[in-house]
Amino acid sequence: MQENEKNIEKTGAGTSLVPKKSLKDRLKRRFTAKRIAFMAIFVALSYAVSFLEIPMPIFGAEFLKLDFGNVFILLISFLLGPVEGVIVCFLKESLRCISSSSLCAGELANFLITSSFLLLPAILYQYRKNLKTVICTLCIASVIATGVALLANRFIIFPTYAHLFGGSIFGMTVQEAFEKFWGAVLIFNVVKTVGVALLTILLYKRLSNFLKKWKI
């Protein structure tokens, strides 16, 4: 009797006899077999596509390579939610760590950058599901992700590569290398986030219809 009373949900107009859903019930509903399988497919797609890299040697920065694996992470974030997007991103970068040449520093940086890119659009989209919301939030998210990318390169990627190559990058200190290449990193991430955003918008509607058909 006492347990039932605790589970009664109170509303502004009085007391409702609708029991509150437990955390276990919410997780069960959110992570169904279909949704988990769908997430696994997107982890595989994002992981595979991330190896299709396009070199972008901006200002002599030959280490910059563009890929569109994040399109699938952004799509899953809109389709299922921000939590699922972060999980897919984490699993994809964990797989990349297996063959990492940077002590997983690049993968950690990618996880932070991608998470910062998807969270705002995916969260706001849960409340306003329209094209205007998608476009506006993706524009803001592109700025946020580019800022995070600059910080990640300065404090994670550049120091790690300097450590791997005996304390210097192309014969320069971390500070000198970042001062030389920060412009290239900035342009690269603007191009990448805008490209990923555009592809996501183009593909979303078709995938959304697929989800509704299969009730995922």
- pLDDT value of residue 130: 83
Beta-carbon contacts of 59 under 8 Å, excluding residues fewer than 6 positions away, are: 180, 181, 183, 184
Q: What band does 194 get if pLDDT is binned at 50, 70 and 90?
A: very high
pLDDT higher than threshold 60 for residue 204? yes
Confirm if 125 and 133 have CB atoms less than 8 A apart: yes
**Per-residue pLDDT tens digits for 48-82:** 999 999 999 888 788 899 999 999 999 999 989 99
pTM: 0.84
CA neighbor of 159 nearest in space, from 182, 179, 175, 183: 175
**Per-residue pLDDT tens digits for 142-151:** 999 999 999 9
What is the rounded average pLDDT of the residues 6-17?
45
**Distance separating alpha carbons of residues 176 and 162, to the nearest angstrom:** 11
- pLDDT value of residue 72: 95
What is the rounded average pLDDT of the residues 70-99?
94
pLDDT higher than threshold 70 for residue 7? no
pLDDT higher than threshold 50 for residue 18? no
